[in-house]
Structure 1
């Protein structure tokens, strides 16, 4: 069971999952509306909440024939079952399900984005680690100020500073978001976050929205961690800034036709990744504040005690967590990894491969520059052995629009015998 997905509902995310199955979109909208009508702001073990879950389940079951080939359909079904068990809905005397008319999207809603484009995700956190729109996974030095996105709608910049003097690793200490003016939909707004102060739930002019019908909205949550979410309806874009201890993290989800807008030769980390001179090899650049075994034990805990997030770190997020904790010795980086993966589960769940075996950072020799050039093309990749025993490296396609498929590349000899068999 993918427990992190339960958190999408537990912490009150407004679900904006785009899927080819229109019936599933309607069910998602009906569920959100039902919670609002019932006055339910947080999950609870109550008859009204369980009634909404049951209505949601019945709605989705009606879409089984049309949506059974859709990943979001199966994910939603699993999440509902887990929520109903978690809140003991079988013991609730919930009565008949609440009936409401289907929610249909407004075809001519003012300042709403209409597109069939695929949605993409970019995120940065930790020392810092970057996932680009094209699913390139990198660890970068990148000290100072760097642009993540810079187009006619948005300018987003992060500032990274060294975490310790003995390492080339840095961490994000400032995030600046500029929402550019779009006549009729938004006035220019600026949001700033620094790691040495609590996140402010408003723009620098003290407002928290702009545009007709709130076409730009901000909401904040402060529980065990701090989070600010900004939604731009006219480009259907979600921006998330998190603060954990002394460090910041950032994630965004937007349509590809918006994400690909950029000036020719412009440097945008979410588009192009970090320059080659800023890339770090996590095997050779790791620190030694903690041993690999100790760091791994901290990162393998299925519940982060600092944030309350319950999930299992996988893929690059597990490797990056171990790297950060080995380098700094700080538990904050366990929390940032959990929260970064939680954002990916919300914004780009299909990008995760659920690899649970970690990269052994104890004694891996640094591959030659030729091997790195031939295999990764400046991408951090996940190496596996397929069921036929052939050594391959799975890497995302990276030219043009994002693609779902993966390409297989021969593993260089230096990596042989270091790859666990699935």
Structure 2
């Protein structure tokens, strides 16, 4: 069987997706492994091992491929190679030596992908979603929903209302399920916001898993616990990672994985990283920040922090771009009022005029809001800069600019009385602004 014919079959499978079975996925793995290890079709033990894994992949998807001509043609070619290179001899040879025996389910680590093939998704704050395609959304969904779901792992998030106010939800639970594979058994990790810190390992008490029949000395999967507020779950065998952070009563999660790992046969309409928030739960955060009073009146919420104060606080901790927008929105509408015991004593600075002194007082005493949210957005920004590929970071910047331009156009053409829809019944909740505080504090100056 010629090498040219074999290559043409593999290339044909790789560039012509088949929705009904995973024939192109098997071919893509086979081609990547060959390229990464510089393998050529010949009678060697390593080539036969890779060929055996390829045939097992084809066998696993066989029941979905009945009547698929490409599947049967490819399988026929590979089985001919198996016989032509006498791959059975490596099995029989290994059976004589227990230490060298390699079972069919040997764990082979995927070859490292290029940065252009890496995808990134993040969910944080009230909550703000950065999807795999670079779309940025703010939503108010409640309940459990998968963030990412594929044949290797599942990440499910639970959003819960945290203030009793409409459209005020944050991530309160993250569940990660590592599915059984040649490289790992089934593992489960759970993090909840009401615990004192993030767990150090999986629910069964283990922190890593290393297969003895692996082609790598690295752990296949491990929990890299940094501190009570940050954990990374590393899936080394597929070059993927899940990052969970905690700030007070809030959680955030980020996922980094190659595109070939994220591909799935199922419907991705329910996965937030692919499909986004449900349309009914999406919030125009830009409009809410520009029209805080109308937003609060429509959805029966409080403005916990004036816009200028929120912008200053978010800018002072280094937030920028998308994460600055998210921080401002969260401080204005989601943060919890600070208690008196949380406030730092404040003394009047010397050589400052009354106006500036009033401004500092307003910052110190009137700031509702929640520093946990400020740090959560800052950490999300740090993870994004460290983990997301450069081309994806550029894509996010461009997406933010487009959204801001669209927002300005919408404001210009919208009727000011119909900026927000589906308003909830009004209540006696008041809006807190600096002028109210001034009335109270002026006698102190």
Give the CA deviation at 1:352. 3.8
Residues 1:257 and 2:260 are matched in the alignment: yes
Q: Which has the higher strand share?
A: 1
CA contact (8 A) 2:136 2:400 kept: no
Residue deviations 1:200-251, cap 9 Å, x none?
Answer: 11000000111324110111112xx611111111210011111111110101
Cross-structure match for 1:111: 108
Give the CA deviation at 1:260. 2.9
* C-alpha distance in 2 between matches for 1:276 and 1:137: 13
For this pair of structures, how many residues does the alignment match?
252
**Distance verdict in 2 for CA 1:411–1:334, change over 3 Å:** closer
CA contact (8 A) 2:268 2:275 kept: no
Cross-structure match for 1:97: none
Residues 1:273 and 2:259 are matched in the alignment: no
* C-alpha distance in 1 between matches for 2:168 and 2:185: 37
Cross-structure match for 2:374: 334
* C-alpha distance in 2 between matches for 1:179 and 1:354: 30
Give the CA deviation at 1:413. 6.3
CA contact (8 A) 2:172 2:251 kept: yes
CA contact (8 A) 2:268 2:274 kept: no
Structure 2 unaligned blocks of 5 or more? 1-105, 212-217, 289-294, 297-301, 336-368, 414-445
Secondary structure in 2 matching 1:122 = strand
Cross-structure match for 1:298: 313
CA contact (8 A) 1:218 1:231 kept: yes
Structure 1 unaligned blocks of 5 or more? 1-108, 303-311, 357-379, 384-392, 396-407, 417-422
**Distance verdict in 2 for CA 1:206–1:381, change over 3 Å:** same
Secondary structure in 2 matching 1:300 = helix
Residue deviations 1:58-97, cap 9 Å, x none?
Answer: xxxxxxxxxxxxxxxxxxxxxxxxxxxxxxxxxxxxxxxx
Residues 1:412 and 2:427 are matched in the alignment: no
Residues 1:173 and 2:172 are matched in the alignment: yes
**Over 6 Å off, 4+ runs:** 408-411
Secondary structure in 2 matching 1:412 = helix
**Distance verdict in 2 for CA 1:162–1:394, change over 3 Å:** closer
CA contact (8 A) 2:221 2:236 kept: yes
* C-alpha distance in 2 between matches for 1:119 and 1:281: 29
Q: What are the equivalent positions in structure 2 for 1:75-224 lying under 5 Å apart?
A: 111-114=108-111, 115-116=113-114, 118-183=117-182, 185-197=183-195, 198-212=197-211, 213-222=218-227
* C-alpha distance in 1 between matches for 2:150 and 2:396: 35
| Structure with greater Cα Rg | 2
Give the CA deviation at 1:257. 1.4
Residue deviations 1:74-133, cap 9 Å, x none?
Answer: xxxxxxxxxxxxxxxxxxxxxxxxxxxxxxxxxxx9532124461010010100110011
CA contact (8 A) 2:146 2:270 kept: yes
Q: Which has the higher helix share?
A: 2
**Distance verdict in 2 for CA 1:132–1:355, change over 3 Å:** closer
Q: TM-score, normalized by length of structure 1? A: 0.55
CA contact (8 A) 2:172 2:192 kept: yes
CA contact (8 A) 1:228 1:240 kept: yes
CA contact (8 A) 1:227 1:243 kept: yes
Q: TM-score, normalized by length of structure 2? A: 0.53
**Distance verdict in 2 for CA 1:331–1:261, change over 3 Å:** same
Aligned-residue Cα RMSD (Å) equals 2.7
> Out of 309, 314, 317, which is 2:320 matched to?
314
**Distance verdict in 2 for CA 1:150–1:291, change over 3 Å:** same
* C-alpha distance in 1 between matches for 2:120 and 2:305: 32
Give the CA deviation at 1:163. 2.5
Give the CA deviation at 1:343. 0.6
Give the CA deviation at 1:155. 1.1
